[in-house]
Structure 1
Amino acid sequence: MEPGIVERLLPWYREHRRDLSFRRTKDPYAILVAEVLLQRTRIVSGLPYFERFMDRFPTVADLARASEEDVLKAWEGLGFYGRARNLHRAAKALVTDHGGKVPGTFSALREFPGIGDYTAGAVASIAFGERVPAVDGNAIRVLSRVFRLSG
């Protein structure tokens, strides 16, 4: 990386970062819910949904036990209901195949419905410390500007 980039980005981050509840936890389930919920959703819009969803389904087992109707009702207003269905299916698989535990590796997380590279990378790196990237559209935009990339 170009010398000085990290030294310029970190102070900016420290000044402008947002205090988000799902960034203060190492709970892989909470991180998974947040990352799936926030796909194609602005944080300011999604945060109240995240808080309500976690109140309603505080554990993987709670989500797995819920009816699809209850899950979709909790998701109501966010749109992109396929995300809710995939998260519900993933919770059921986590309970059935993993004892209700979120696996700690990128490759294992990628096996679940609706979990792509970014979400798997975010959960594996934040919750478990696995050294894998979590590169979303925002990171791509910043890096494109820093390195003057187009397209």
Structure 2
Amino acid sequence: MLDWYDEHKRSMPWRETDDPYRIWVAEIMLQQTRVDTVRDYYHRFLEAFPTVEALADAERDEVLKHWEGLGFYARARHLHE
């Protein structure tokens, strides 16, 4: 199985980082959402909130605006809290 993965794996931005914040954002976004959808939102969200401090300092409405289209808004609210 690992050989198959090495040959067929898809490149994902959250696999190419060791930043816990970026991995955490991806994990939350990927809950009940397709990978292809998350990929675009992931980049835009991290441009708006590049650090956990930036996310914490943001207004809730701003966070929800950047989450718009992913659905399951409770995920965004929990990230922000």
TM-score normalised by the chain length of structure 1: 0.53
Aligned to 1:19: 11
The one-letter amino acid of 1:72's match is L
Aligned to 1:66: 58
* Number of equivalences: 81
- Residue 79 in 1 paired to residue 59 in 2? no
Paired residue secondary structure (1:22): helix
Aligned to 1:43: 35
The one-letter amino acid of 2:68's match is E
Unpaired runs of 5+ residues, structure 1, are 1-8, 90-151
Shift of 1:84: 0.2
Q: Which has the larger radius of gyration?
A: 1
Quote the sequence identity (%). Answer: 54
- Alpha-carbon distance between aligned partners in 2 of 1:83 and 1:62, rounded to the nearest angstrom: 17
Shift of 1:15: 1.5
Shift of 1:79: 0.3
Query: 1:120-151 CA deviation, whole Å, 9 max, x = no partner?
Result: xxxxxxxxxxxxxxxxxxxxxxxxxxxxxxxx
State how 1:1-150 maps to structure 2 within 5 Å.
9-89=1-81
Query: 1:88-142 CA deviation, whole Å, 9 max, x = no partner?
Result: 00xxxxxxxxxxxxxxxxxxxxxxxxxxxxxxxxxxxxxxxxxxxxxxxxxxxxx
Unpaired runs of 5+ residues, structure 2, are none
The one-letter amino acid of 1:16's match is H
Paired residue secondary structure (1:77): coil
TM-score normalised by the chain length of structure 2: 0.97
- Alpha-carbon distance between aligned partners in 2 of 1:37 and 1:45, rounded to the nearest angstrom: 9
Runs of 4+ with >2 A deviation: none
